[in-house]
Amino acid sequence: MNNTVPIKTNETSAFQALPGVLPFMAYGLVSISIHFGKSLPRPPIWLHPFLLFDALVLIGLGAGILAVFPRWAYCYLSWALILAWWLSDMGIYGVYSLDNHMWLPPLGVFILALLMRRSMAPLHALLAGLWSDWTLLSLGIYSFVAWLGVMYDENHYPCLLVFIIASTLAVCAGAWFYFRQTVAIQQVLSLITGLIAMMVIVGINSATWDWRAYYNLPENAYYIRAQWVWPSLP
């Protein structure tokens, strides 16, 4: 009789890493649709890109809970928290006001998935993972910074599409290599590299288009991108 206890590792296969990269890729597509879909007719509120992205994140979170919280599920948890916080103080089309009820969908997903599992094992796995793997907190911070950087709020660079795609690929690569590494320091370095690449791309963008002239600002004006202060979604 073999009494050997299997040792759990941080190794993630390429197939398992794909769900962890998906929200970063989808967010880049959302950014593209927001910037380049303004000339198109407004879709119904329930087809707004940010609400569709929120739905994707909640579906991924539910799938992760049902799978007893594999590592990729933490991506969806962090994105769900970011979106619930951000969208809870937003308005869409200047008519529809979102409020603190945006916290109810992720809570409902948690409750529904736990009921479907008929077990608290996913919740125990979530807490155990955070306790045993500190890099998962780094992954949450990574998601937050990616959210800030990839949106390019109020950016009117002629080649903006190129910068959004490049930034999206940078954060996707950082997340991909994070999941593929097995050593904590390598995982964190993957995230740091992805963020540095994104910040370099954002820096080049800010330094090479005349945003001061666009906003009728003096040449010595300092540019502050307060993306988190956005009164309404287009």
Calpha distance 94→176 (Å, rounded)? 37
What pTM was computed for the model?
0.84
The pair of three-digit structure tokens given for residue 152, joined into one six-digit string: 């390019």
pLDDT at 202 over 70: yes
d(CA 146, CA 85): 15
Task: Name the pLDDT band for 167 (thresholds 50, 70, 90).
Answer: very high
Is a pLDDT exceeding 80 seen at residue 11? Answer: no
pLDDT tens figures, 61-77: 999 999 999 999 999 99
Report long-range pairs for 34-41 (Cβ below 8 Å, ≥24 apart): 34/151, 34/234, 35/152, 35/155, 35/160, 35/161, 35/164, 36/161, 38/234
Joined tokens for residue 192: 């740091």
- What integer pLDDT is reported at residue 221 of this predicted model? 60
Please tell me which of 16-20, 102-106, 192-196 the model is most confident about, judged by mean pLDDT: 192-196
